[in-house]
Amino acid sequence: MLSGFMESLLPLTAVLMGIGAGVIAMYFRSRKHKEEQETIRLALEKGIELPENIFQRVERHSSGNGKDSLRRGLFWTFTGVAVFIALWLNEEAGIRGAAWALIPIGIGLGSLIYHKLTKANNGNQGLSR
């Protein structure tokens, strides 16, 4: 009984650590963004002249970047296709195992659709940012 528990504990720990790493990364990114905003606010209150590109950097962080969604979409789609082919050719996994590759393919296609929609809404400004 304990052996079965220990065998299932390893994958559970790996999944929790992966989720935890993502949460920690998002926390620190959000914290950095808040500190940048606070620095800009304080500089404006004191009357310090800010460089023009500082607002472009802040806008890039706060809004979806067209190039970023295109890059991310292509990465996830082609990664999913590669995993699908690798699992499909594997004798043990077969087509049922390869079906798991539909998850990254779906994420990639979603990012590509998002890129296309934001590009259409911004009047082709999605690539010029």
Together in a domain, 113 and 57: no
Q: How many domains does the chain have?
A: 2
In which domain, by residue range, is 83 found? 64-129
How far is residue 42's CA from residue 46's CA, in Å, rounded to a whole number? 6
Q: Is the pLDDT of residue 17 over 80?
A: yes
Q: Which residue among 39, 62, 85 closes a domain? A: 62
Confidence of residue 24 (pLDDT cuts 50, 70, 90): very high
Q: Is the pLDDT of residue 129 over 80?
A: no
Together in a domain, 40 and 99: no
User: Chain-centre distance of CA 106, in angstroms?
Assistant: 13
Q: Which residue among 40, 62, 84 closes a domain? A: 62
Confidence of residue 127 (pLDDT cuts 50, 70, 90): very low
Together in a domain, 68 and 126: yes
Together in a domain, 1 and 48: yes
Q: What is the DSSP secondary-structure string of the chain?
A: -HHHHHHHHHHHHHHHHHHHHHHHHHHHHHHHHHHHHHHHHHHHHHTPPPPTHHHHHHHHHHS--HHHHHHHHHHHHHHHHHHHHHHHHSTTTHHHHHGGGHHHHHHHHHHHHHHHHHHHHTTS-TTT-
Together in a domain, 18 and 46: yes
pLDDT more than 70, % of the chain:
80
Instruction: Share the mean pLDDT of the chain.
Output: 80
Together in a domain, 24 and 41: yes
Q: Which residue among 35, 62, 89 closes a domain? A: 62
- Residue 86: count of CB within 10 angstroms of its CB: 13
Together in a domain, 85 and 52: no
Together in a domain, 89 and 119: yes
Q: Is the pLDDT of residue 65 over 60?
A: no
Q: Is the pLDDT of residue 50 over 60?
A: yes
